[in-house]
């Protein structure tokens, strides 16, 4: 007998409503996928999604916090992250992003090796400097 494994939507209370019919994250069995996160502050009812600030530092740290909230909502942690996709808008931000990324993960107390990562430079909506999505495998 083949049992159905349900797909669960991961929707942290802090997150703003997605602008379309997609989930901030989903988990099915031991696979967890985090949707592209940006540096929006925790949702406030009646306020439009608002970036943490205009700087790469503010947006990167908020984006990583937003990803982490979804991982945790699904019972995972950064230790389960397999792939981090980083989308930047400007090649000149690479070194600074790396410094912030390293500093952030030094504070996360990882007990497993860090995830793989790809960084590419794309267009993003006005005012957004970084977007990140993550594939995780639990267990």
Q: Which is nearer to a copy of itself, 52 or 70 (CB)?
A: 70
> What is the number of other CB atoms lying within 10 angstroms of the CB of residue 54?
10
Q: Which is nearer to a copy of itself, 22 or 44 (CB)?
A: 22
CB of 122 to a copy of itself, least distance (A): 4
CB of 11 to a copy of itself, least distance (A): 9
Contact 50, 108 (CB under 8 A): no
CB of 102 to a copy of itself, least distance (A): 5
Start-to-end C-alpha separation, the chain: 23
Tokens representing residue 75 in the block:
């019972």
Contact 60, 130 (CB under 8 A): yes
CB of 18 to a copy of itself, least distance (A): 8
**What are the residues binding a copy of itself (CB under 8 A)?**
2, 4-9, 18-26, 28-31, 33-36, 79-80, 82-85, 87, 91, 94, 98, 101-102, 105-106, 112-126, 131, 133, 135, 137, 139
CA distance 34 to 49: 18
């Amino acid at each position: 007998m083949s049992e159905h494994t349900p797909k669960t939507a991961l929707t942290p209370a802090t997150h703003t409503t997605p602008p379309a019919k997609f989930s901030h994250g989903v988990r099915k069995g031991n696979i967890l996928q985090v949707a592209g996160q940006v540096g929006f502050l925790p949702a406030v009812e009646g306020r439009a999604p608002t970036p943490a600030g205009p700087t790469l530092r503010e947006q990167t740290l908020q984006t990583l916090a937003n990803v982490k909230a979804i991982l945790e909502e699904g019972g995972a942690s950064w230790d389960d992250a397999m792939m981090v996709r980083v989308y930047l808008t400007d090649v000149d931000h690479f070194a600074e992003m790396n410094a912030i990324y390293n500093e952030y993960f030094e504070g996360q107390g990882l007990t497993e090796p860090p995830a793989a990562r790809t960084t590419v430079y794309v267009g993003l909506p006005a005012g957004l400097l970084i977007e990140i999505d993550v594939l995780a495998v639990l267990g």
